[in-house]
């Protein structure tokens, strides 16, 4: 894409000469002859640089008109490079222009090589600063996502998860919009990250937004950005999430929580790939791959007037439901072991093993919180476990009585008498929610005898 330069001078001959100089250098040039026309152009178009005269028809020597134009441009765009040129060059004028917001200064008649060098350098500096600001915001967002996604838990040993992964791997190669559905805690954000990393856009960023956390009043600023002075607290220009995700992936989590009044604006940028920053009239284009996620029934939300039907059609080109953990029985123990391994590596601890009875308890549990709950349970177990093996009592699961009895009555294949005894104590403690006296009484043991056995766990 060509860099666009705005030329401002009341002398038409100078404008023509500059155009003849800059166009062969690969620049796209817009000509204006007065400050008002220049301000209109800056409002409407995205320029890479402004090259402007300091004196105009009202006053040909003081430079006041030019200094005011610099200040006006800075109000419209505080990052746009401005290079000033004048035939009345003095040290005082040069200093004044720089103090008022110009980036550089050149005297008429100009040296061609120096002028080209100044223009090239200022555009590069501005682009570098913009990239630095964008990278800073991207890093801040990525830091917020650390340890919330992809903790080595992309495990698919169960048939239902293998089928789901087959679809995900196929979809990842495309550029289609994806809607991930499923219960809370099933790992939708993790699978969004997986899709991005296995797509052609994996060299760019994935930017994630929790739509439930974006307030209606700040929606446009958060999603599209704002320019300096757009509202009271807008003390600097902000890059929005769409621009941050340009050429990469934008992940809209909890999309059902998008304020209805803002859904039309979201639809417009998704359909046209165009948006405007808050406080700016210039239209920007963006190229993103969209992944959305929700645990809500969007069809019901459409029927209830809470979600736009046209937006639903736009985001669910391919809908993938992530199965709940209770339907992934073969994955539960590998996921639990993976969690223990990750925490051991993170905290530089010895990795814990899981006892046979604890494994049965994990499989028997309903997991209403899915993988998120499993992570919390295993983290709690690692903290509370005083031995090298996680037992049922360390899990703190609230299984119903029937399931606990099922665990207690299932024989251990080739288990030793000692391990069976320990498992029974473990199960009984879980049943009585850690009350050792009640557990001992139910087993017909004295308090001292029970605690002697408990020390072995």
pLDDT per residue over 59-95, tens digit each? 655 678 888 999 999 888 888 999 998 776 556 777 7
109 has pLDDT over 90 = no
Q: Which of 191, 140, 142, 136 is nearest to 167 (CA)?
A: 191
Q: What CA–CA distance (Å, rounded) separates 327 from 233? A: 49
Cβ neighbours of residue 300 closer than 8 Å, sequence gap 6 or more: none
Percent of the chain scoring above 90 in pLDDT: 53
The CATH 1.10.8.60 domain(s) of the chain lie at: 326-454
Note the pTM of the prediction, 2 decimals. Answer: 0.65
Query: Which tokens hold the place of 180?
Result: 């991930």
What DSSP designation does 151 have?
S
196 has pLDDT over 50 = yes
Q: Kindly report whether the peptide bond that precedes residue 177 is cis, defined as omega within 30 degrees of 0.
A: no
Q: Residue 308: left if φ>0, alpha if ψ -120 to 50, beta else—which one? A: beta
Return the CATH fold of 4-125.
Rossmann fold (3.40.50)
7 has pLDDT over 90 = yes
The CATH 3.40.50.2300 domain(s) of the chain lie at: 4-125
The CATH 3.40.50.300 domain(s) of the chain lie at: 147-323
Q: What CA–CA distance (Å, rounded) separates 64 from 219? A: 40
Q: What is the pLDDT of residue 88?
A: 63
317 has pLDDT over 80 = yes
Alpha helical stretches, state H, 214-277: 219-224, 241-244, 260-272
Q: What is the pLDDT of residue 158?
A: 93
Segment 377-420, tens digit of pLDDT:
998 888 888 888 998 888 988 654 444 444 444 444 455 666 66
Q: For the purposes of burial, counting CB atoms within 10 Å of the CB of 63, is it exposed (0-12), middle (13-18) or buried (19 or more)? A: buried
Q: Which CATH architecture has domain 326-454?
A: Orthogonal Bundle (1.10)
Q: What is the pLDDT of residue 154?
A: 82
> Do residues 86 and 16 touch, judged by C-beta distance below 8 A?
no
Q: What CA–CA distance (Å, rounded) separates 457 from 278? A: 62
Segment 10-53, tens digit of pLDDT:
999 999 999 999 999 999 999 999 999 999 999 888 899 999 99
Homologous superfamily of domain range 147-323: P-loop containing nucleotide triphosphate hydrolases (3.40.50.300)
Cross-strand pairs, 30: 6
Q: What is the pLDDT of residue 201?
A: 94
Number of helices (H), then strands (E), in the chain: 20, 16
Q: What is the pLDDT of residue 385?
A: 84
Averaged pLDDT score across all residues of the chain: 85
């Amino acid at each position: 894409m060509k860099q666009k330069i705005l030329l401002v001078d009341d002398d038409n001959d100078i404008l023509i000469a500059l155009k003849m100089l800059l166009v062969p250098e690969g620049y796209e040039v817009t000509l204006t002859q007065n400050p008002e026309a220049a301000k209109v152009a800056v409002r409407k178009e995205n320029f890479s640089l402004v090259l402007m005269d300091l004196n105009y028809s009202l006053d040909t020597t003081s430079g006041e008109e030019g200094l005011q134009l610099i200040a006006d441009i800075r109000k419209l765009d505080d990052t746009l490079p401005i290079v000033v040129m004048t035939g009345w060059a003095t040290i005082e004028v040069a200093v004044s222009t720089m103090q008022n917001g110009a980036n550089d200064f050149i005297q008429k008649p100009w040296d061609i090589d120096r002028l080209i060098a100044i223009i090239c350098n200022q555009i590069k500096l501005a682009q570098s600063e913009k990239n630095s600001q964008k990278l800073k915001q991207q890093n801040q967002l990525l830091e917020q996502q650390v340890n919330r996604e992809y903790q080595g838990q992309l495990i698919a040993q169960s048939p239902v998860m293998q089928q789901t992964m087959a679809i995900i791997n196929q979809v990842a190669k495309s550029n289609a919009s994806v809607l991930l559905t499923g219960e809370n805690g099933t790992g939708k954000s993790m699978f969004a990250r997986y899709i991005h990393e296995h797509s052609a856009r994996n060299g760019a960023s994935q930017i994630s937004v929790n739509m439930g956390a974006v307030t209606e009043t700040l929606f446009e600023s958060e999603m599209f950005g704002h320019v300096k002075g757009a509202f009271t607290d807008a003390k600097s220009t902000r890059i929005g999430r769409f621009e941050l995700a340009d050429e990469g992936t934008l992940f809209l989590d909890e999309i059902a929580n998008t304020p209805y009044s803002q859904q039309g604006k979201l639809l417009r940028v998704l359909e046209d790939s165009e948006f405007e920053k808050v406080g700016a009239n210039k239209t920007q284009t963006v190229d993103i791959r969209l992944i959305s996620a929700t645990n809500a029934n969007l069809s019901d939300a459409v029927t209830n007037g809470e979600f736009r039907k046209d937006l639903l059609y736009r985001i669910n080109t391919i809908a993938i439901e992530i199965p709940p953990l209770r339907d992934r029985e073969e994955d539960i123990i590998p996921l639990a072991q993976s969690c223990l391994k990750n925490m051991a590596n993170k905290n530089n601890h010895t990795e814990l093993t899981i006892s046979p009875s604890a494994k049965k308890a994990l499989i028997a549990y309903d997991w209403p919180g899915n993988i998120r709950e499993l992570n919390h349970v295993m983290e709690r177990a690692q903290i509370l476990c005083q031995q090298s093996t996680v037992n049922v009592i360390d899990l703190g699961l609230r299984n119903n009585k029937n399931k606990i009895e099922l665990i207690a009555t299932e024989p251990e294949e080739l288990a030793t008498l000692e391990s069976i005894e320990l498992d029974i104590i473990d199960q009984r403690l879980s049943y009585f929610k850690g009350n050792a006296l009640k557990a001992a009484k139910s087993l017909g043991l004295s308090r001292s005898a029970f605690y002697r056995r408990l020390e072995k766990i």
